A and B are shown apart, each in its own frame.
Chain A
Amino acid sequence: MKLEFERFMPKFWEYRDVASGPFRALFDFRKIWKQAVFLCAGVALAPLILMALIDYNVTQKAIESEILLRTSRLVSNERRTISFFLEERKFALDFVVHDNPYETLKDTARLETILENLKKSLGGFSDLGVIDSSGIQINYAGPYRLLGVDYRRHDWFRQVMEKGVYISDVFLGLRNAPHFVIAVKHLLPNGDSFILRSSLDMERFQKILSQMELEPSGDAVIINRSGVLQTPSRYFHDIFSRIPFAIPDFSSTTQVYQTSDSKGRIYVIGYAYIVDTPFILMVTKQKNELMKPWFKTRLHLVAFLAVSIVGILAVIIGVATYLVNHMYMADQKRVMTLHQVEYANKLASIGRLAAGVAHEINNPLAIINEKAGLIKDILTFQSDCAADTKLVGLLDSILSSVERCGAITRRLLGFARHMEVRIQKVSIRDIIQDVIGFLGKEAEYKSIVVSADIPEDVPEFESDRGKLQQIFLNLVNNAFAAMNEGGHLKIAVAAIPDKSVSVTVSDDGCGISDADLKRVFEPFFTTKSRTGGTGLGLSITYGLVQELGGDIQVESAVGKGTRFIVTLPLIREPQTSEQKKDGFDKSRFSDDFVKSSQARRANPEE
């Protein structure tokens, strides 16, 4: 799992600078990455989140006020309907007392007729009673025997005598069914007065309420001014129980407010006092139900926001990683180039030093050569002494030693010279023999057997002698480092006519592990950091081979040995800058460079 995760980690993330001076990375890549991501995310996400929050609040408020407005309109309309219903019945009674003389109303049969007519026309009336000014019911039409009842001490009687009209609360009364009473007072010309009183059943009243257009969770009730339910409620309690809310304050207009019950549910409550009655119309709605469409919208809004944030973050992280990775690569390239320059300078210095030494030694060497030569000449041309053969032998060994020294200095001069030469015709045979010559002594000290298998017909080709020398010096040096005493180094050359020449440098040393094999050409990769390895040898070799348009492969098996195969083109293709750049990137930094270098594990013995 950890490995899976590491695969997505950019290379710069775990990079820890160990170098100093100009080889130090110019940037703290992790810090730059973090800064870029946080800054971009801040700039991109802050306005988005702010806008989303504002939009959220504005929309929520708009929807809430829309709910309140709708409730208010509904309550308002309903109050008008209820007021009209009550007014209608009040006027009907008023009409009866005006239309019928007091004497007529005392007639029970007439009163019953009027009740019948009222039931048929307006409806809702269940009885009629005539009460004189002393409070005695003097006539009654209806289902009960209430004639002669004395209402003098009743509260409603006093009120109707004072105000002229009275509408009662809803009550059960004798008939044990909810009903209420409307009473009107009529003044007689003689100054006396009487009251016409009617009970109204709740059937019609409730019909009005039930016809209201309410959401399933809504409820419309009528309460009296002490908060007692006058009509049955769908959700609260039975009729005549108290509502679970406080009685709303008196207002002549329709009011809407929000409140919560003991269970924490929020209700939107609209109410209106119905003028001249004890009634208050109250509409309650559960806010959660009303807000359902908003919850859906809100979900969309939040989902959109979340998707946007994830998308923006993904893009920002992607771009930041891409850019910082490129910075990292560029910086690595810079450090690599610096190292290469340093390496090249070092080689050039060694070259100059070698050339200087060679020159200084060549002159005295030439003198020794000529002097010894002259002695030999004298002995050969002028003397005929038999003992001279021993002297000639001695001189010959001096001359051959001088020749050996000459070969060494010439090689040093050649090495120095080729440092500077660019493209020329080169013979791979000469180069390899030069390299073996350079390192021959070291091989002898380490008892390493060096064998070269170079066919006679390997063609000469145009290349950079100095670079080739460096490539094979590096490879042979590496092979020496991998071998103990008594190792075998084999250099084999094979040519594909008109196409390429491949040089295989194989040793039977310690080999390279599978994991390291993938990284041997990476700059700064070394397993010898403690003993002074820079990890640059093979990466420089790789770079040089690439520059010459060639290819290098490595095969290795731990304990068995390693084989490097350098393939060089016989015909040089002019390198464009693009190819160079590409080669550089691929060779050192791209992920698939291992593939391009075709590093693979194999047994070099096979």
Chain B
Amino acid sequence: MRVLLVDDEEQLVSTLAERLELRGIHAGWATGGEEALERVKSETFDLAVLDVKMPKISGIELKKRLQVLCPAMKFIFLTGHGSEEDFTAGAAEAGSDFYLIKPVKIEALLEKMNEVMRHPGKSI
């Protein structure tokens, strides 16, 4: 499984990527939408874990653009924000089961990642 992590908090994505690598998952990371779009040109990912609130390109917007580039890609949202609009939009994009709020246990994240890969229908 190859995972792309996108969050404007570099400390978070880098550490998370390292932890996933330790668990045998190939994880690439980006701190912004543009960087993420660049990365998918050279690498292929099965799954993207996106923050919702990011500068320039929001998580929702990024998901749409990534889908154009990589139609088979699955998505999970991982956000610190829990406002109603974000929840409604995020849950609509990824399904409410794949809208996670920080902080999240690594085991829980792994479980969700496996789940989304098993049920490709759930993430559009």
Q: Are A370 and B82 in contact (CB under 8 A)?
A: no
The 9 A-B residue pairs with the shortest CB-CB distance in the complex, in nearest-first order: A413-B82, A362-B80, A366-B102, A369-B103, A370-B15, A366-B103, A359-B81, A363-B80, A362-B102
Seen from chain B, the residues whose Cβ lies within 8 Å of a Cβ on chain A are 9, 11-12, 15-16, 18-19, 22-23, 80-84, 87, 101-106
Q: Which of A324-378 contact B (CB under 8 A)?
A: 355, 358-360, 362-363, 365-371, 373-374, 377-378
- Kindly state whether residue A417 has any CB partner on chain B within 8 Å: yes
Seen from chain A, the residues whose Cβ lies within 8 Å of a Cβ on chain B are 355, 358-360, 362-363, 365-371, 373-374, 377-378, 381, 399, 402-403, 405-406, 409-410, 413-414, 416-417, 420-421
Contacts of A406 in B (CB 8 A): 101-104
- If A355-B82, A363-B9, A421-B84 touch, whether A374 touches B18 (CB-CB below 8 Å) is yes
- Cα-based distance from A373 to B104 in the complex (angstroms): 11
Q: Are A366 and B12 in contact (CB under 8 A)?
A: yes
Shortest Cβ distance from B80 into A: residue: A362
- If A359-B81, A367-B12, A373-B15 touch, whether A410 touches B87 (CB-CB below 8 Å) is no
Contacts of B15 in A (CB 8 A): 367, 370-371, 373-374
Contacts of A360 in B (CB 8 A): 80
11 intermolecular pairs with C-beta atoms under 8 Å apart: A355-B82, A355-B83, A359-B82, A362-B80, A362-B102, A363-B12, A367-B9, A373-B15, A374-B18, A377-B19, A417-B84
Contacts of B82 in A (CB 8 A): 355, 358-359, 410, 413-414, 416-417
Number of A-B contacts (CB under 8 A): 80
Contacts of A377 in B (CB 8 A): 18-19, 22-23
Most chain B CB inside 10 Å of its own CB: which residue of A373, A403, A414, A420:
A373
- Cα-based distance from A413 to B101 in the complex (angstroms): 10
- Cα-based distance from A399 to B103 in the complex (angstroms): 10
Q: Are A420 and B84 in contact (CB under 8 A)?
A: yes
- The listed residue (A355, A381, A402, A416) touching B103 by CB distance below 8 A is A402
- Cα-based distance from A417 to B87 in the complex (angstroms): 9
Contacts of B105 in A (CB 8 A): 369, 399, 403
Q: Are B84 and A403 in contact (CB under 8 A)?
A: no
Shortest Cβ distance from A372 into B: residue: B15
- Cα-based distance from A366 to B83 in the complex (angstroms): 18
- The listed residue (B23, B103, B106) touching A362 by CB distance below 8 A is B103
- The listed residue (A362, A367, A374, A381) touching B101 by CB distance below 8 A is A362
Contacts of B80 in A (CB 8 A): 358-360, 362-363, 366
- If A366-B80, A370-B15 touch, whether A403 touches B103 (CB-CB below 8 Å) is yes
Shortest Cβ distance from A399 into B: residue: B105
Contacts of B104 in A (CB 8 A): 366, 369, 406
- The listed residue (B19, B87, B102) touching A374 by CB distance below 8 A is B19
- Cα-based distance from A362 to B80 in the complex (angstroms): 5
Contacts of B102 in A (CB 8 A): 362-363, 365-366, 369, 406
Contacts of A409 in B (CB 8 A): 101
